Amino acid sequence: MGTTWSVRVRASDVGDEAGLRGAIAQALESVEEEMSHYRPASRLSRFNRHVAPTWFSVSPVFAQLVGRAEQVWRETGGAFDVTCAPLIDLWGFGPKGAVARVPTDGEIAAAMSRVGVRHLESREDPPALKKDLPGLELNLSAIAKGHGADRVGQLLDTRGIHDWLVEVGGELAIAGEKAPGVSWTIAIERPTASGRLDHEALEVTDVAVATSGDYHIFWRDEGQRFSHIIDPRVGRPVTHDTASVSVFAGTCAEADAWATAFLVLGAEEALKVADSLDLAATFVVRATAERFDVKTSSAYRRRYGDR
């Protein structure tokens, strides 16, 4: 997935540390083998090359994840779209690497003609995917990292370890306590006008947290900034004032998907969706060139206070 991972558990629960580390690495490797858009032999890459309008076999968890992504697509009016691989590549944020210039309107229109979850169908029994558009391609980078964290958490549970904090590329899955009577403490990233990052500390347990921001991956052209967060509805990087979103959910895959979806929507529209679904979310919004404001959903304020 092009990133790092870390797992924290109580030392007394570990047992065979080398064996546990190897099992975690293998769990994440299995996610790569299924869902990597960088590996030509992954199941996802093979589906992307599959042009016939016939069912393509995938694992049960792959089909479930795509099904959940389809739900988020519907609930956000298309703001979250796992078929936007052509747009990600076009803007220089995919496996094909950076681009030398801003795409033309014609190039954007051509890429968008190959995008749309409405052209994708998933089923769980037997698990498979189907497309009615030959050029349709998946990119699960906005949900697969979270799923990877969930999968590691499931592995730990099966090994009898029930107090853990799993981090994959900054996305967190958390269970139990750091120590008896002591919750896990996490830091929520806050960008500042100077470019540095502040952090808000929260005590949490049994929750997943994902953060999406437009300030980590971007490029500039003639003074204009282009973020890797692309709005699939218009085929261009987002331009609103929302700088980052953190979402708290029952699974890290869900938190990961919603964080990206909410950043595409922007705070004003996303807060309405978060409140309608009772999702805890916190937004950092550029108020001026020198100041950021923080906005939170009703569920966030109820669970973590009005910050």
Is residue 157 situated within a structural domain?
A: yes
Regarding whether 95 and 226 lie in a shared domain, the answer is no
By C-alpha distance, which of 191, 152, 192, 193 is closest to 169? 152
pTM above 0.85, yes or no: yes
In terms of C-beta density within 10 A (0-12 exposed, 13-18 middle, 19 or more buried), how is residue 230 classed?
buried
Could you tell me if 104 and 201 lie in one domain? no
pLDDT in tens, 71-105: 999 999 999 999 999 999 998 887 777 777 788 99
Joined tokens for residue 96: 């094909």
Instruction: Looking at the structure, tell me whether residues 197 and 270 fall in a common domain.
Output: yes
By the 8 A CB rule, do 79 and 235 touch? no
- The token duo for 163 is 């107090």
CA-based Rg of the chain, rounded to a whole angstrom? Answer: 19
CATH number for the domain including 74?
A: 1.10.3980.10
Assigned domain for 6 exists: no
Helical H runs in the chain? Answer: 11-14, 17-35, 43-49, 60-75, 85-90, 105-112, 144-158, 252-265, 267-277, 298-304
Q: Assess whether pLDDT exceeds 70 at residue 212.
A: yes
Where among 108, 131, 154 does a domain terminate? 131
DSSP state of 167: E
Distance CA 100, CA 154 (A): 42
pLDDT in tens, 124-182: 999 999 999 999 999 999 999 999 999 999 999 999 999 999 999 999 999 999 999 99
Structural domain harbouring 82: 53-131
Give whole-number Cα distances, 223 to 35, 135, 236, 294, in Å: 35, 33, 17, 27
pLDDT band at residue 291 using 50, 70 and 90 as cut-offs: confident
Q: Are residues 124 and 172 in the same domain?
A: no
pLDDT of residue 122: 96
Please report the pLDDT score of residue 192 as a whole number.
65
Q: Are residues 300 and 195 in the same domain?
A: yes
